[in-house]
Amino acid sequence: MESRIAPPVRVLVADSGVRFMKASAEVLTQRGFAVVLAAGPEEAFDAVRRASPNIIFYDMDMPGYEGPEALRLLARMRGGKDAFTIASSIHGGAECERLAAEAGAWDFAVRPVERDFVIETAMAIRRHLRRPRDAVRQPENPLLKTIVTDCRRPGCDGSLVSYLPRRKPSRQRTDQFETPIFTVSDGQSQGEAVDFNVLAITVCPRCYWACDGPPVAEHAGAGITRVGRMAGRPRLLRMAAEADDTLFSESRSIAAALVAMRLAIENARAQGAIDSTVELEALADLYFKAAALAHTARDESLRDRFLGEAEKICAAMLEREPCAEVYRAACRLAALYVYFTRDSD
């Protein structure tokens, strides 16, 4: 009979600091990880060959090998090429981080590495590794359909499943910030309905690139266009780890939908979506939609943070040449000022 208990996630801590290794091993073992220690590069290579770790914390300052060289060797080893390698060094700065990334590191940290960083990183990666892998091809809900496309992130071979209504959604209402609240129903007064705002964000299950709605190619028939500037995968993965397993499901919870919105915002900002009023408005729309979801979840603090970011974008839009998007931003700002002062007039 096949065991339903998932095997422990394997972690290699390769570090010249004995105290750091022991402390990391203790906290990770307490949380169910299988931990292997190595005090030098050769020990680390041997541990990778024997244990095939899922996660590697590697000290680039260990003597014997240059840090980037050791990372390249780890990335080429059969037991290390699929591992999430987090490099660390006392030499901080963009150049050291760039060298580590080019050598195969998934993330980089400046030493001394905090214990909380080790725990949070390992927990986020474990959540990622244990997420359901099967993409839904046909939703159970008859009101929904799916579109499956390739991820637009360079180097990612993930599949994106976008949920769409089988019939045109009805705009149930527009809130005071002109945010459309969509629902899809079966057309009967007592029939089933779907809050489509909860499912509007498409998320890649491998790299967590996210967008509002299904990704669309720039030219019909040209396939999926790869995006340029990208949000950092470690940050996206840690953010996604906060969502429950409904993140990729048609039964997505409000909490998971909020995480999906945050992922879409993070990706949009990384792409520098501020070149035109249309792009600014799209980013503002994400913040207003996220605020509407936070309001549904009764999280007033998070709602007000989203609205605060939306206010900054709308205020910036007023510096642009007058157009429909700028006029809409002005109306939204007026609504925001009324809302935050709770002025009934």
Distance CA 58, CA 67 (A): 9
Distance CA 87, CA 73 (A): 13
Distance CA 83, CA 61 (A): 20
Distance CA 323, CA 330 (A): 11
Based on its alpha-carbon atoms, the radius of gyration of the chain, rounded to whole angstroms, reads: 23
pTM of the model: 0.86
Q: What is the model's pLDDT at position 221?
A: 40
> Which residue type occupies 183?
T
Q: Please give the helix or strand (H or E) that residue 40 lies within, else none.
A: none
Q: What is the model's pLDDT at position 159?
A: 87
Task: Using 50 as the pLDDT threshold, list the residues of the chain that sit under it.
Answer: 1-2, 189-191, 217-223, 343-345
Q: Please give the helix or strand (H or E) that residue 161 lies within, else none.
A: strand 159-165
> Which residue type occupies 291?
A
Partnered with residue 87 across adjacent β-strands are 58, 108
Q: What is the model's pLDDT at position 193?
A: 72
User: Residues 6 or more apart from 177 whose CB is under 8 A from it?
Assistant: 288, 291, 307, 310, 332, 335, 336, 339
Give residue for tokens 């990770």.
28
Q: What is the model's pLDDT at position 190?
A: 46
Query: Could you read off the pLDDT of 197-224 as tens digits, one per residue?
Result: 899 899 999 999 999 888 764 433 444 5
Q: What is the model's pLDDT at position 189?
A: 44
Q: What is the model's pLDDT at position 4?
A: 60
Q: What is the model's pLDDT at position 182?
A: 67
